[in-house]
Amino acid sequence: MLLQKEMIAGHYRALANAAEEGRKVVYTFVPGNLTELMRSFDVLPLLPEINALQSGMRKLSGGYISEAEKQGHSEDVCTYVKCDIGMLKKGNVGPTGEKLPEPDLLLLSYTGCFTFMKWFELLRQEYDCPVAMLHVPYQADGLIHDHHRDYIVEQLETEVIPKLEQVTGRRFDEDRLRERLALSVQAEDDLVWVLESAKNVPSPIDAYFGGVYYIGPMFTAFRGTQEGVDYYRTLRAEIEERLAQGRGPITPHGEVERERYRLVMEGPPNWTSFRDFWQMFSDEGAVVVASSYTKVGGLYDRGFRHDPGRPLATLAEYCFMINSVKSCNSFSVGQLLMLRQLEERTGVPGGFIESDLVDPRYFSAANIKNRIESYLQMLEQKRGAA
């Protein structure tokens, strides 16, 4: 966790110094991001979602959201968007207190969420720079067909790569991209091993609260870098040691010494009260052993790996390997239905918690704590009856 925080802070420092050092900056999003391709051009990626969640963890998001609402954005608009727009209107000072650079390119690499497209339109109104939009087709049968892949590769060749060449003044170097992709594979292997370690009892990790630190480098700026490889190698070694010792996960409030409940979580966490939210579970010995949120930037646990031998095709396939878990209505509206279906199919009861990503007005600690405790007590009663 500490190493991850140092890496993210270092990336924000690099962004703050980008203009001075003559480096180009590309604004893009987490799902489907083309980090290896951007890194092959030596550009720095900046992700608005990460700005928002980092601001939430640092208790800055409430003011930014209020600023965006003063500018006319509705209370019903995704709070990630309002946090980012509010931060921009207040001087675009990033979560670490350093001013963020304006983009040299806006790269929309994922169009499966309408919120992202509207967010991108708002950014386009603010900045005078080139725009590249990568359209990802809908998979009606859940499979990737050749014409899907070819369609994205064509866009990479005719839209994305030419724009990167335009803003950087560099020619596309396929060998450099292959090198980046090879580094990604190493990191992806170690990340999957870490997530799979939660199958052990006790689990040496918390795959939701701890998991957000594990996925940070992979889903943001460090895929395709040696720093990313070194991070996941270090993480794996730490978890291997905990596994060998039969120890539970580490939390900001100490080690979970007794695993009483093993949970699966769907949806993103609340960032403004993240540590308090985590403690509500860890105090009860409740450990999350799998979560959908840790797959939002790539479903590596289902076997996907970047393939350096097919550089553009593998980037295209990655754009399909996304589990869309965001706070907009189109994704959260089906959660109760999913919960009921899972209860029916598994016989395991579920619980439902409501809050928000980065708006502190929608986190009631007492109510959420009561709901969690009631749910775990119900599990305990069922366990006793069995």
pLDDT per residue over 114-165, tens digit each?
A: 788 889 999 999 999 999 999 888 877 878 899 999 999 999 999 999 999 9
The pLDDT value recorded for residue 336 is 86
Cβ density class 248-277: b for 16+ within 10 Å, e for less: bbbbeeeebeeeebbbbbbbbbbbbbbeeb
Question: Which domain does 360 fall in, by range?
Answer: 2-385
The pLDDT value recorded for residue 324 is 54
What is the pLDDT confidence band of residue 253, given thresholds at 50, 70 and 90?
very high
Mention every residue, 6+ apart, whose C-beta is less than 8 A from residue 185: 305, 306, 307, 308
Query: What residue has token string 């608005």?
Result: 48
Please state which of the ranges 68-77, 81-90, 112-121, 326-335 shows the lowest mean pLDDT. Answer: 326-335
Please state which of the ranges 52-61, 105-114, 186-195, 361-370 shows the lowest mean pLDDT. Answer: 105-114
What is the pLDDT confidence band of residue 326, given thresholds at 50, 70 and 90?
very low
The answer to whether 148 and 275 have CB atoms below 8 angstroms apart is: no
What is the pLDDT confidence band of residue 28, given thresholds at 50, 70 and 90?
very high
The answer to whether 364 and 356 have CB atoms below 8 angstroms apart is: no
The pLDDT value recorded for residue 112 is 65
Please state which of the ranges 191-195, 229-233, 361-365 shows the lowest mean pLDDT. Answer: 361-365
**40 pLDDT exceeds 60?**
yes
Please state which of the ranges 38-52, 66-80, 171-185, 327-341 shows the lowest mean pLDDT. Answer: 327-341
CA distances from 210 to 145, 216, 219, 227, 235 (A): 35, 10, 15, 20, 11
CB atoms inside a 10 Å sphere around CB 6: 11
CB atoms inside a 10 Å sphere around CB 145: 12
Average pLDDT, rounded, for the chain: 93
* Measured distance CA(268)–CA(357) in Å, rounded: 7
**297 pLDDT exceeds 90?**
no
The pLDDT value recorded for residue 296 is 85
**337 pLDDT exceeds 90?**
no
Q: How many domains does the chain have?
A: 1
The pLDDT value recorded for residue 325 is 45
The answer to whether 9 and 89 have CB atoms below 8 angstroms apart is: no
**58 pLDDT exceeds 90?**
yes
The answer to whether 93 and 15 have CB atoms below 8 angstroms apart is: no
* Measured distance CA(108)–CA(372) in Å, rounded: 37
